[in-house]
Amino acid sequence: MSRRRGNQVRSNWAAYTDLETDVIARLTLGVAVRYEDFSDFGNTFNGKVSGRFELNKRAAVRASANTGFRAPTPGQSNITEVATNIDPLTGGLLLVATLPPTNAIGQFYGARSLTPEKSVNWSGGLVFNLLDGYALTLDYFDIRVEDRIALTSRIPVTAADRAGLTARGVDPGDFQSVRFFGNFFDSRTRGVDVVVAKTWALSGASRLGATAAFNHTRNKVTDVRDARAIDRERRIEISDFNPRGRGNFALDYGGRRWQGRAVVSYYGRWTDAVPNAVPTAVSFDQTFPAESLVDLEAGYRFAGKLTLSVGAENVFNTYPDEDLRLSQRNNGLVYPQFSPFGFSGRFFYLRAAAKF
């Protein structure tokens, strides 16, 4: 892999104000504004409004809406990188160039100077303080990103493209494919969060807390302005590469000396897509099933404010299913390289912490 080195400079300043007040006895409203000025992308003004209304002593409703802004990073605007990859179909070597949008080769394929991405986000939910000290929250969120900044799919450099570049006086090099950052599509993310929590007071100063949380999120490409920039693989990566469902259940014990924690984490099914446009018998998309992992930790606090803890992550040594694709196995990949919980198995640790 090779990279071009250089210095890219940006300066920016921002001002932020956040106000919140109780309008009436049970209604809280908030307003926040932010102004930011970039030396290379101009200025932006964004705001947020939020509110919380108590229906009664045990229930409340809350909502918020805000706009967002993200300028391209200097790296996204100026990166030059050439990587040697392995062709999943032939096993041969491929030179993949990541070029800045201002590069002549990138512009031949439609690259343009990056523009900031903007977003509109809103959420709404319910808060319940139930009997016996249980707390329940239910929230829905919707995030819409316009002109999303993302790396394009690999665009093959054909013989005709090389001739066209040469005719323009541009050296095509020996790249087999190129890619670059661009603002080629919009996206929408929607989901729900559910959290239940409860704390019990035990003998002495000991307490036991339990929290159960679940999230379900769906991602979708909504407006493609250049089909070459988001192919079949990228669509699957955005919609199904991460599990749509995730959850965890945690127990936390805290006593005068002893403390402990147990967590069960759940990951829903997910799909790893291959880069070829048409899946084959040796290079195809593989969907991996849901898995659950268990983490445990126990600690002891000494009189001198020193705490020693011992723990284990992934106690039952859970691995994702093996990768069944011959194109991946031939490259030494026994397990999927992008598993949401890794493929390293069980991990033990010993930790010491001191408070002064």
**CATH code, domain with 250:** 2.40.170.20
User: What pLDDT score does 1 carry?
Assistant: 47
**Nearest to residue 79, comparing CAs of 184, 149, 26?**
149
Decide: residue 97, CB within 10 A, 0-12 exposed, 13-18 middle, 19+ buried.
Answer: buried
- Chain-centre distance of CA 21, in angstroms? 33
Q: What is the pLDDT of residues 218-271, one digit of tens each?
A: 999 988 887 777 788 888 888 899 999 999 999 999 988 999 999 999 999 999
- Two structure tokens written together for 58: 């045990």
Question: In the chain, how many domains are there?
Answer: 1
| Residue 32 to residue 16: CA distance in whole angstroms | 7
Which residues of the chain are modeled with pLDDT < 50?
A: 1-3
| Residue 91 to residue 141: CA distance in whole angstroms | 43
Domain that holds residue 44: 2-354
Decide: residue 187, CB within 10 A, 0-12 exposed, 13-18 middle, 19+ buried.
Answer: buried
User: What pLDDT score does 152 carry?
Assistant: 83
Q: Which residue type, as a one-letter code, is found at position 346?
A: R
User: What pLDDT score does 146 carry?
Assistant: 95
User: What pLDDT score does 88 carry?
Assistant: 62
How do strand 93-98 and strand 177-179 relate by DSSP bridges?
parallel
Please tell me the pTM assigned to this model: 0.81
Phi, psi of 332 (to 5 degrees): 85, 10
| Residue 114 to residue 116: CA distance in whole angstroms | 7
| Residue 329 to residue 331: CA distance in whole angstroms | 5
Decide: residue 90, CB within 10 A, 0-12 exposed, 13-18 middle, 19+ buried.
Answer: exposed
